[in-house]
Amino acid sequence: MRAWRKTWVAVVSVFILASPLLGGPQSSSPRPFNLIRWNHGKFIFGVDYYPEAWPESQWEKDAEMMQAAGINFVRMGEFDWVKMEPEEGHFDFSWLDRALKILSAHGIHAVLGTPTAAPPAWLYAEYPDIAAVNAEGIRYRFGSRRNYCLNNPHFLQATRQIVTALAEHYKNNPAVIGFQIDNELGNPYCFNRYCLAAFQNWCRNKYKTLDALNRAWGTVFWGQTYTAWSQIPLPWNTLFGVHNPSLALDYDRFFNDSTKSYLELQARILRRIAPNKAITTNEMGLFDAIDYSKLNTALDFVAWDNYPMFDQNHSNYFGPALAHDLMRGSKNNQNFMVMEEEAGLPGWTMFWGHQAPAALYRVWAYQAVAHGADGVCFFRWRTSTYGTEQYWQGVLDQDSYPNARYRIIARMGKEIQRLTPVLEGSHVVSKVALLVSPDSRWAFHIQPLTKGFNYNRQLYRYYDAFRRRAVNVDVVFPQDNFSAYKVLVAPSLFVVNAELVRKLTQFVRGGGLLILTYRSGVKDSHNVYTTLTLPGRLAPLVGIAIHNYDPETTQQQKIVMSNGTSYPADVWFDILTPTSARVLATYGEDFYAGKPAVTINRYGRGAVIYVGTEPRSSRFYSGLVQLVARRTGLALGPKLPNGVEMATRQKAGEKIIFLLNYTSQPQSVDVGAVTRNALTGQAENESVPIPPYDVRVLTRR
């Protein structure tokens, strides 16, 4: 090992005990961003390209086929560390320069991935402890991707070196318009000595004194009181497989902060050296190990990886619509892009799912646009001939034949050029928001309620009910401003603090309608159970008391509405005692038959609906949306046929309407007014036909 690196590691090893997180707490400064202008006035229409895997003689033909399909953008390099730095301190970007030159000659710009998701074998050989350690104390072996410790000083210094070299080499290259940091940040959890020291220091920075930490975590339970910071463990490998839930929640926050710190380490280097290049990373929709609303403060724009086929087992036909909206909401509802859009059947050691009609890939790509994407980049250009992803189809298969997927994507490439002037400057506008609480999601992973509980399923059920009536839905986070919305839905808001309660109260008092569900207001910000009668601090707002509840195990239950209609229910049953609320539904079975299950409470100029269980029927949620619309004046769209979605963007008084047919049957939607087809320019009647697996893009003033 070189002397300078020994010195640097020694300094960092001390620093890890003296700072809240290795890499520093500073935040880089993203800029307001217009994706279409960034891409030289073009909608981003691209592919993920791996020229290093193919003979250079093929690159020119690839670029020609891309250009013919309307491709103007590629992402490259995110796994090419060993190609860029074949040995420590020796860099070679010549191969990438040649690929960029060919692509640029065909009007194609690039985002380059910082290649830190794939550390080279020589780095592991010299510093084997950069590999992550699992909860059993076993170090993962070389051979996969993203196997690294976010707090390892050797890895962080190696990251600085490769990112600095990449930025220096491409800072003035006009073919490179930005950088993607790493690849799908958010794993693995690591339990080595570096992470242990960093977590202990994170706790010291947050709580200041051990007395404060012991009180917050309730360490009097099971005699877990700490008398030195060095005694604090990571939540791993205990006798019964469980740990203090307060410690476990703080570990999730620590891991989130470690990930954010690692991203910011790279972002600072890129901004300092190449300030004219944009910065993003590729994220994963509803993936919940990371709080994207915190991570994305360091990015210029949000990008994510969209694979609708993974949602096929979910009953909702909107597929990834919620994930699109969550990604948009994770950065103040700024328009986003899809960095990896499914272009074929996915698979690793086996194929996942079944083949989709080629036309459906176009519909899924337009769905992203409908939900606020100003860019779509298909994964991948060509299926790999080797490695783990041989079963993951690209736009082209291994033989490069211009197949049906290529032809349908080429069709969209021509269409999107015509649509760009219509789309530029438009945004999704919503009056309904879905509140996602990362703290609650983490707390439920630590202590699930029952085997049947699923936080995301609740998100989908309420989200889908509004989307089935063509109502746009934003996703917001606890730190966001709620004042722009008429309706706020916050399923199972398990972890709350005084500030969030204040904001919800202000929202309702000002005229908003809030929907809460079972297990809300149960825990404080330390994941400690409230001593107040449930729903804790939310009780005055909700107008109920909960003195008893029943976790579903095997029993059958239903709720009965005031008009006598009944719906099956499961998962959990809060038995409600109204204090000021009015009853909307009661339970129909067991010893609490006739007891309130769903209530509504007027508060200030607004109201709160509390749903104490999880109804299984979509008709319940549809009825709830109609009730909400009557009380708030929320405009509902048409009732949509099964398998059809309607979503809108708007700008300067113009509404852009997307009708998407995910089914094999022709459909039609009554949009309520004469519109104009944005692609043909022709007027459309109120009832708009949509062929199978097709899209209509309409405009209306």
Q: Check whether 549 has a pLDDT greater than 90.
A: yes
* Domain 32-186+250-423 in this protein, CATH class: alpha beta
pLDDT bracket for residue 446 (50, 70, 90)? very high
How high does pLDDT run on average in the chain? 94
pLDDT band at 658 (very low <50, low <70, confident <90, very high): very high
Alpha helix ranges (H) inside 390-497: 404-423, 438-446, 455-467
Given this model, what pLDDT does residue 317 score? 60
pLDDT on residue 28 = 40
Q: Which residues contact 3 (CB under 8 A, 6 or more apart)?
A: none
115-174 pLDDT per residue, tens: 999 999 999 999 999 999 999 999 999 989 999 999 999 999 999 999 999 999 999 999
pTM (whole model) above 0.75: yes
| pLDDT given for residue 166 in this prediction | 98
Of the candidates 78, 85, 184, 552, the residue annotated as catalytic is 184
Q: Which region among 44-58, 460-474, 548-562 has the lowest average model confidence (pLDDT)?
A: 548-562
Is the pLDDT score of 605 beyond 50?
Answer: yes
Q: At what angle do helices 438-446 and 455-467 cross, to 10 degrees?
A: 140
The two tokens of residue 572 are: 């959990």
pLDDT tens digits, one per residue of 344-354: 999 999 888 88
- Count the Cβ atoms, other than its own, within 10 Å of residue 595: 17
Distance CA 417, CA 413 (A): 7
Number of Cβ within a 10 Å radius of residue 378: 25
Mean pLDDT of 322-336: 97
| Sign of the torsion formed by the C-alpha atoms of 270, 276, 281 and 286 | positive
Can you tell me the distance from the alpha carbon of 305 to that of 186, in angstroms, rounded to the nearest whole number? 13
Quickly state the pLDDT bin for 555 (edges 50, 70, 90). Answer: confident
> What's the average model confidence in pLDDT over 646-656?
95
Q: Which CATH class is domain 644-700?
A: mainly beta
Q: Pinpoint the residues of the chain covered by CATH 3.40.50.880.
A: 432-632
Q: What is the CATH number of domain 432-632?
A: 3.40.50.880
pLDDT digits (tens, 9 = 90+) for 374-411: 999 999 999 999 999 999 999 999 999 999 999 999 99
Q: Which tokens sit at 48?
A: 């993920």
Q: Where are the alpha helices (DSSP H) in 577-635?
A: 618-632
Give start-end residues of each CATH 2.60.40.1180 domain in the chain.
644-700
Give the pLDDT of residue 6. 42
CB 646 within 8 A of CB 698: no
Nearest by Cα to 413 from 340, 361, 371 = 361
Which pLDDT value is given to residue 180?
A: 98
Active-site residue among 85, 283, 340, 342? 340
* Contact of 17 with 10, CB cutoff 8 Å: no
pLDDT given for residue 14 in this prediction: 36
pLDDT tens digits for 449-497?
Answer: 999 999 999 999 999 999 999 999 999 999 999 999 999 999 999 999 9
**At 103, which helix (H) or strand (E)?**
helix 94-105
Cβ partners under 8 Å of residue 463, min gap 6: 321, 322, 325, 434, 473, 489
Percent of the chain with pLDDT over 70: 94
64 among known catalytic residues: no
The rounded distance, in Å, linking the Cα atoms of 599 and 491 is: 15
What pLDDT, on a 0 to 100 scale, did the predictor assign at position 239? 81
State the average pLDDT over residues 287-302. Answer: 97
- Concerning whether 340 is annotated as a catalytic residue, the answer is yes
SS3 534: strand
- With beta carbons less than 8 A apart as the criterion, state whether 659 and 640 touch: no
Strands 667-670 and 687-690: antiparallel
In terms of DSSP H, where are the helices of 583-640?
Answer: 618-632
